Chains A and B, each alone.
Chain A
């Protein structure tokens, strides 16, 4: 038992080491973490090698090169990126963001780098040609975008309902499947989409024309903002800016997508093209799963044991911890830790660490509950007999009660491990590039929703099967 305990702690500290290893390392050049959208072509999207390209990406990279800093691009999704920026988790956002007065209250913007308006797109077969045709219909928009703000500002006037999605491809799909009659988005984005075979048509002139800017949190990273402005001016001067814009909005832009349309779209083809991205996603998912299983198990056992101590306060603390962290939705907890706490304290928490803390607290609370239950399930006569021999509480617990309780708990542990693996997918919300987020990004590029999600689902099932087999093997070892 003692050796096992030591092994446990060794693993625990090894996993802590993993965090430390992930923590920012000092570079000669400053590295800025830049948040962006998952997909917002032609400004941001992953190419077939899953490298992030587009106007915004080329601009920020070129400017970084000009000004001598490094960028770490995080495709968090538009909404999450802006939230992470205002909580100070990242340094800047470039994601085709329109400069508005409202946003200016919390963000500082660069000089505008692009001008665009909001247009409406409908399915090719749709008879709707103007805003008037939307009466009684539903319109799809993306959370937090200017298109969404525009749609909401006119929905009462034209009598339509608004549904919001986190990803552009879900917006377009909703229109294509006919759930929504139309969608609103930036003209550059929709025009590019139409040109590259999105399967929608644009039916209105740009309205609500706005300018795109790079943003930092108000009053912070002013040096970065200055460098961006200086770099942008240089690019405009030396012709590189025009070159980038032309590359993505000019006629040549289409040739790129013809190539992407001719990608092998069979299951095997999709797997082969995205091999590296999927493999990285699996690794990240496994890393999250293993580290959080270890941390949650330790945390859960400690809290569970606290709950069976002969002390009112210890038991109360245990019950409260279980109540809080079992009661909170995982999604809320993840956002609270990643975005909520840093905006209060001003210290960054890396997404991976925030993810581990989230899972440790939530899964740990469930673990604590069944650890407590398992110990309570051991006949009380066992404890009485051990105590009557003069064994102190701790010894009686370790030698007599726990070995029996653990046997009762083993199936629950296996169950919890599997749930933990599945719950890592929720951490895609804070931009961790695990398997689910990888899937989202691949789909954002090729719109092969069914096939890609099927692939991701099968991979999850495979990992779960392996985990189950491993657990059963351990269970047999324990019971022998």
Chain B
């Protein structure tokens, strides 16, 4: 399986007495778009955060590009350079302008000169449709704009996998489309993506595979049309009934 991007085996994660992930096996191939769905508290976000060790696994193995993320000896900073992450609450650096947000990591980590980073930032802003916001402060942006800047910031490190943690959950409904548009563009360009979302439309349209999680285990997975139209598991059916027939 040389083209495996993500290889998680028997992953367990507990917060104190709370056993959140219970022996997860999870694989993502190169260029694959995987959407994680499931009720809140099912462990989707925790799984995602274990992929770049924002949460340290309690046990089990996580490897990205063949690099063992769960090993404490792995240089996690270096590994994270190739793993972009987008958060529910954007987490733009409030002390910096939009441009500086995007340039910070490439410049500080010696990937690009200041000039090249600025040029790249402008280009990335153009791809997310915000070329005029280069000098703006994050505080002056709408939620949708912030999230698109956050995506541009993650892309600035030129990652080969992108993790999205409920990227549209904190947005006003009219902003959701813009962000999804950017994500679709990324997917079409062949970016490997793991997306935790409640946007079933996006999942149906863009996912190569949908993974349904509940209570810390993977309950069901498959092509979107199979999972959405012919769910095998009762829990999947119950969940889909709730979210789709609102």
Q: List residues of chain A with CB under 8 Å of any chain B CB.
A: 379, 381-382, 384-392, 395, 399-400, 403-404, 407
Task: State whether A384 touches B108 (Cβ < 8 A).
Answer: no
Counting CB contacts under 8 A, is B153 at the interface? yes
Write out the residue numbers on chain B whose beta carbons fall within 8 Å of the beta carbon of A392: 77
Q: What is the bound-complex CA distance between A367 and B154, given in angstroms?
A: 36
Q: Which of B78, B92, B94 contacts A390 (CB 8 A)?
A: B78
- Contacts A382-B91, A385-B92, A389-B153 given; 18 further ones with Cβ under 8 A? A381-B91, A382-B94, A384-B54, A385-B153, A386-B104, A387-B77, A388-B54, A388-B83, A388-B85, A388-B154, A389-B80, A390-B78, A390-B81, A390-B105, A391-B104, A392-B77, A403-B95, A407-B95
Write out the residue numbers on chain A whose beta carbons fall within 8 Å of the beta carbon of B85: 385, 388
Task: State whether A387 touches B80 (Cβ < 8 A).
Answer: yes
B45 to A: closest C-beta gap in Å:
12
Write out the residue numbers on chain B whose beta carbons fall within 8 Å of the beta carbon of A400: 93, 95-96, 104
Q: What is the bound-complex CA distance between A290 and B132, given in angstroms?
A: 46
Counting CB contacts under 8 A, is B147 at the interface? no
Counting CB contacts under 8 A, is B12 at the interface? no
Residues facing A in B65-91 (CB within 8 A) are 77-81, 83-85, 87, 89, 91
Counting CB contacts under 8 A, is B157 at the interface? yes
Q: List 16 A-B contacts (CB under 8 A).
A: A379-B91, A381-B89, A382-B94, A384-B87, A385-B85, A385-B153, A386-B104, A388-B85, A389-B153, A389-B154, A390-B77, A390-B157, A392-B77, A395-B108, A399-B93, A399-B108
Write out the residue numbers on chain A whose beta carbons fall within 8 Å of the beta carbon of B81: 389-390
A107 to B: closest C-beta gap in Å:
61
A385 to B: closest C-beta gap in Å:
4
Q: What is the bound-complex CA distance between A427 and B66, given in angstroms?
A: 64
Q: List residues of chain B with CB under 8 Å of any chain A CB.
A: 52, 54, 77-81, 83-85, 87, 89, 91-96, 104-105, 108-109, 150, 153-154, 157
Interface of A, secondary structure class, is helix
Write out the residue numbers on chain B whose beta carbons fall within 8 Å of the beta carbon of A399: 93, 104, 108
Write out the residue numbers on chain B whose beta carbons fall within 8 Å of the beta carbon of A385: 85, 87, 91-93, 150, 153
Q: What is the bound-complex CA distance between A381 and B95, given in angstroms?
A: 14
Most buried by A among B77, B92, B96, B154: B77
Q: What is the bound-complex CA distance between A190 and B157, given in angstroms?
A: 84
Task: State whether B87 touches A381 (Cβ < 8 A).
Answer: yes
Which single residue of chain B is at the shortest CB-CB distance from A389?
A: B105
Q: What is the bound-complex CA distance between A395 and B83, given in angstroms?
A: 18
A345 to B: closest C-beta gap in Å:
44
Task: State whether A382 touches B93 (Cβ < 8 A).
Answer: yes
Task: State whether B94 touches A404 (Cβ < 8 A).
Answer: yes
Q: Which of B54, B78, B96, B153 contacts A387 (CB 8 A)?
A: B54
Task: State whether A391 touches B91 (Cβ < 8 A).
Answer: no
Task: State whether B80 touches A386 (Cβ < 8 A).
Answer: no
Write out the residue numbers on chain B whose beta carbons fall within 8 Å of the beta carbon of A387: 54, 77, 80
Which single residue of chain B is at the shortest CB-CB distance from A380?
A: B91
Task: State whether B104 touches A390 (Cβ < 8 A).
Answer: no
Task: State whether A404 touches B80 (Cβ < 8 A).
Answer: no
Write out the residue numbers on chain B whose beta carbons fall within 8 Å of the beta carbon of A403: 95
Which single residue of chain A is at the shortest CB-CB distance from B79?
A: A390
Which single residue of chain A is at the shortest CB-CB distance from B150?
A: A385
Write out the residue numbers on chain A whose beta carbons fall within 8 Å of the beta carbon of B77: 387, 390-392
Write out the residue numbers on chain B whose beta carbons fall within 8 Å of the beta carbon of A382: 91, 93-94
Task: State whether A390 touches B80 (Cβ < 8 A).
Answer: yes
Q: What is the bound-complex CA distance between A223 and B216, given in angstroms?
A: 84
Task: State whether A390 touches B91 (Cβ < 8 A).
Answer: no
Task: State whether B104 touches A389 (Cβ < 8 A).
Answer: yes
Write out the residue numbers on chain B whose beta carbons fall within 8 Å of the beta carbon of A386: 93, 104-105
B195 to A: closest C-beta gap in Å:
15
Write out the residue numbers on chain A whose beta carbons fall within 8 Å of the beta carbon of B95: 400, 403-404, 407
Q: Which of A381, A384, A391, A407 contacts B105 (CB 8 A)?
A: A391
Task: State whether B94 touches A389 (Cβ < 8 A).
Answer: no
B117 to A: closest C-beta gap in Å:
13
A66 to B: closest C-beta gap in Å:
70
Write out the residue numbers on chain A whose beta carbons fall within 8 Å of the beta carbon of B91: 379, 381-382, 384-385
B69 to A: closest C-beta gap in Å:
13
Q: What is the bound-complex CA distance between A400 and B153, given in angstroms?
A: 14
Most buried by A among B80, B81, B92, B95: B95
Write out the residue numbers on chain A whose beta carbons fall within 8 Å of the beta carbon of B108: 391, 395, 399
Q: What is the bound-complex CA distance between A386 and B154, given in angstroms?
A: 10
Which single residue of chain B is at the shortest CB-CB distance from A398?
A: B108
Which single residue of chain B is at the shortest CB-CB distance from A378?
A: B94
Q: What is the bound-complex CA distance between A403 and B95, given in angstroms?
A: 7
Which single residue of chain B is at the shortest CB-CB distance from A385?
A: B91
Q: What is the bound-complex CA distance between A390 and B81, given in angstroms?
A: 5
Write out the residue numbers on chain A whose beta carbons fall within 8 Å of the beta carbon of B94: 382, 404
Q: What is the bound-complex CA distance between A395 and B80, given in angstroms?
A: 14
Q: What is the bound-complex CA distance between A10 and B108, given in angstroms?
A: 26
Q: What is the bound-complex CA distance between A385 and B91, given in angstroms?
A: 6
A239 to B: closest C-beta gap in Å:
79
Q: What is the bound-complex CA distance between A399 and B104, given in angstroms?
A: 8
Write out the residue numbers on chain B whose beta carbons fall within 8 Å of the beta carbon of A389: 80-81, 104-105, 153-154, 157
